[in-house]
Amino acid sequence: MKKIIAIIIFANIIVFAQKSNPYSFFPSAVGNIWEYYDVLFGLTKYKIVKDSILRDGSKFIYFNSESRASYRIDTAYNVYKDPQGSNWLYYKLNADSGDTWIVDSIDAVYGWKAIVKRKFPSVVFGKPAIIMQIYYNDMPYDTVIYLEGWSEYIATGFGEIEYYDESGMGPQKILLGCIIEGDTLGTLTSIPNKKQNLFTYQLYQNYPNPFNPITTIKYSLSMSGNVKIIVYSILGKKVKVLVDKYQSSGEHEVEFNAENLPSGVYIYSIISNHFSSHRKMIYLK
């Protein structure tokens, strides 16, 4: 009897997958709220505060109190990130496993590409859902290369549920709970306004990444001392010294503006009396 029930449940999930609306991968109603645990920023909350319909039928989505649209959703199931700026084709909501597209062009040979690695039925916060894993990386237009990119997992009825760094860093952002069209799912907590001081040596991943043309580099120091933050090209050439001074213990951040530099991968390093580390970042015009 239990086996029969399990088969029925699985069959229902498959039917749900076949009938799901592609737009349900990106719930876009005003008032929707998502809360994540972010490795860099801790607990973070996103809320759709307004939208606007354009003449071509597409829709701008505004998160939190941002002055310009965070996303644009068109009538062909495409979702563009930062549509009034970088305008990356970030999601194709009707894509299937193996489908690829160009997120943004870099040069005549390379582009920032996305590929749907898999699409499968699952259960999220007790509800049946279809999950789409989308892998992103810089690669030749006619080739798929799995190296040190990242994957985003989006689910019907939920949107983004996980951001996973494929370079070995693992999950970087995980959905804890959400309110979708008035329905509360998962666990929502109150987020304190004050930032926590971690007081450990740490060089965090820049944000946003990829970026155009400004990104923020955040780091923390467990002891006061002389600190250098230096940006290098992928070939090891020094590009810019962002910080070179004595700093107290605690959290710090600095902006990097790559406006006059070519698109590509850059390395940023921290060097202090007791600590050194480096990370990659990607500049896409």
Mean pLDDT check: name the lowest of 119-128, 142-151, 258-267.
142-151
Residue 209 lies in a domain: yes
208: domain range? 202-283
Pair (213, 94) in one structural domain:
no
Pair (72, 162) in one structural domain:
yes
CB–CB of 116/134 below 8 Å? yes
CATH number at residue 230: 2.60.40.1930
More reliable by pLDDT, 194 or 208: 208
Pair (86, 147) in one structural domain:
yes
Buried residues in 227-261 as b, exposed as e (16+ CB within 10 A): bebbbeeeeeeeeeebbeeeeeeebbeeebebeeb
Q: Which pLDDT tens digit goes with each residue over 46-68?
A: 999 999 999 999 999 999 866 78
Is pTM beyond 0.75? Reply is no
Domain total for the chain? 2
Residue 21 lies in a domain: no
Q: Which pLDDT tens digit goes with each residue over 146-174?
A: 667 889 999 999 999 999 888 777 888 89
Pair (217, 148) in one structural domain:
no
Q: Which of 153, 186, 219 delimits the end of a domain?
A: 186
